[in-house]
Amino acid sequence: MALISRLTTGSKIFLSREKRHRFIKECSIFNCEVVVELLCHKVQDPSQTTQMRALCGLACLMCTDLLSLEQIFSVTHVRLTQLSNGTAGPVTNKATKLLRQFEALLGFSVIRTITTEDTPVDQSSYKLNMADQIPFGARDAVLKHSDTLPEDMPQIRGYDFNQGVDHRALLQSYLTTGFQASSFAMAVQEINKMIDRRLEPVEDQENACDSQQSQSGCTIFLGYTSNLISAGVRETIRYLVQHKMVDVIVTTAGGIEEDLIKCLAPTYLGEFSLPGKELRQRGINRIGNLLVPNDNYCKFEDWLMPILDQMVLEQKTEGTCWTPSKMIHRLGKEINNPDSVYYWAYKNDIPVFSPALTDGSLGDMIYFHSYKNPGLVLDIVEDIRRMNCKAVFAKSTGMIILGGGLVKHHIANANLMRNGADFAVFVNTGQEFDGSDSGARPDEAVSWGKIRMDAKPVKIYADATIVFPLLVAETFAHQASKLTADKKGV
């Protein structure tokens, strides 16, 4: 028929809009069932262009009411199925698309079988079963074949309380629990690696003076934000310092003053929802759900001012060059209270670095004191050299950082000086999507050279008040007998 010949003859594989409209108009005056039969015959033409133009003609008829979709499908489905099973290409794609359109419009699936010219097709095997057949392609999409996973890959399985309550076994089961529980278990493994390395013997280093000489196989840097000292994590940190389980501490001003203030007056448990206006009128300060009476800071001022006077005097008469770490060492000595983190840091000669020492109540008191007795100087340059050398001359280093901000970056940057820490555990709730250092994953630190490329750092996305005491229980406290075997002054 001339109509079909005109439609399927041409150099382009697709029909123009004008040709489509003319074809549909002319079809209306012919027997459309015959037109479909002829198009189906043209679909078998050796020419890919002819095949594509014939398929386009079928697509045009599907968009009209000249024939029902069921009628068109009954004539074309065999050939369309054969084409859809062929080698990938425009014709195969077009045939597959038409089959999917039929299924979407009619609500049944095509039972596909690969046929050849030599294999007759049983027309009865192609049934329009709207209720029982799976839609075309759905089974392949849902039941996609899986690659075989490694045999040593852990399988997810949680703790079985039928075994009774064994808290250590419960925490060990976290490794195969998934999500942040698994991150916790991996952090336990990472810290235990630090401890194992720490217990290795240390050889004398040629280029290090006595003050720089590494005292253990792994120098552990512990960093934490001030809110953790305000909270009960203070006692966990004090335990580590008391028993010389860490080598270097970095914290903020609040992380210093809150420890000292707690030796003078307590912090209380309140609620997150307490209204700020009412608390301000009552002279009560809120840290999350913790409450600190303002009188605590008044007591802190009374205790601190005489010490600042003495520091100024020693600076003037003895030439003492004060640094933040030296000041913290002095405050630990003066507080003389075994509940204090910094008392034990003083007793065990563990350096505490706080480059932002003036950002808090300590800064307030130094500011007030500068009017009464001016002249106190704190040198941060000496501290940065001392801290960086702790990393440079270490046999290996580990970072345990609770929270983010200054403490996280200050420790990481010191480890840059040795081309990265060997071990690292971060605990915080920060996300990386705002570009903050606090939320950055350990892999970002690898890119800066702050964690070594062959390290296996761990980040736990969690509240450190929940996680850190459990981490210590599974690591430092569990290995306390080894870690404290040769310690003195504890």
Rounded average pLDDT over 90-114: 72
**Same domain, yes or no: 251 and 366:** yes
Tell me the CATH number at 73.
1.25.40.90
Question: Are residues 351 and 472 located together in one domain of the fold?
Answer: yes
Query: Residue 109's pLDDT is what?
Result: 53
For this structure, is 450 an active site residue?
yes
Does a structural domain hold residue 422?
yes
- Identity of residue 140: D
Indicate the residue among 72, 106, 140 that finishes a domain. 106
Q: Which helix (H) or strand (E) holds 93?
A: helix 90-106
pLDDT attached to residue 487: 59
Could you tell me if 70 and 204 lie in one domain? Answer: no
Instruction: List, as one string, the DSSP characters of 428-484.
Output: E---GGG--TTT--HHHHHHHTSB-TT---EEEES-HHHHHHHHHHHTTTTTHHHHT
Q: Is 228 left (phi over 0), alpha (psi -120 to 50) or beta?
A: alpha
- 96 and 1, same domain (yes or no): yes
For 10, left (φ over 0), alpha (ψ -120 to 50), or beta?
A: left
Report how many domains make up the chain: 2
Q: For residue 172, is it within any domain?
A: no
Average pLDDT, the chain: 89
Q: Of 68, 90, 106, which residue is a domain's last? A: 106
pTM of the predicted model, to two decimals?
A: 0.75
Instruction: Assess whether 51 and 181 both reside in one domain.
Output: no
Res. 114: pLDDT tops 50: no
Which range among 83-92, 108-117, 282-291 has the greatest average pLDDT? 282-291
Distance CA 261, CA 254 (A): 10
Tell me: do 68 and 198 sit in the same domain: no
pLDDT at position 129: 46
Could you list the residue range(s) of the whole structural domain that residue 228 is in? 177-265+295-487
By three-state DSSP, how is residue 269 classified? strand
**233 within a domain of the structure (yes/no):** yes
pLDDT, tens only, 22-56: 888 888 777 788 888 888 888 888 888 888 888 88
Question: Distances in Å between the alpha carbon of 308 and those of 299, 371, 482?
Answer: 15, 12, 40
Choose, from 347, 395, 450, 459, the residue flagged as catalytic. Answer: 450
Q: Do 89 and 185 lie in a common domain?
A: no
Q: Confidence class of residue 58 from pLDDT cuts 50, 70 and 90? A: confident
Question: Which pLDDT value is given to residue 442?
Answer: 98
Reported as a single tens digit per residue, the pLDDT across 190-239 is 999 999 999 998 877 666 655 667 789 999 999 999 999 999 999 999 99
Mean pLDDT value across residues 76-100:
83
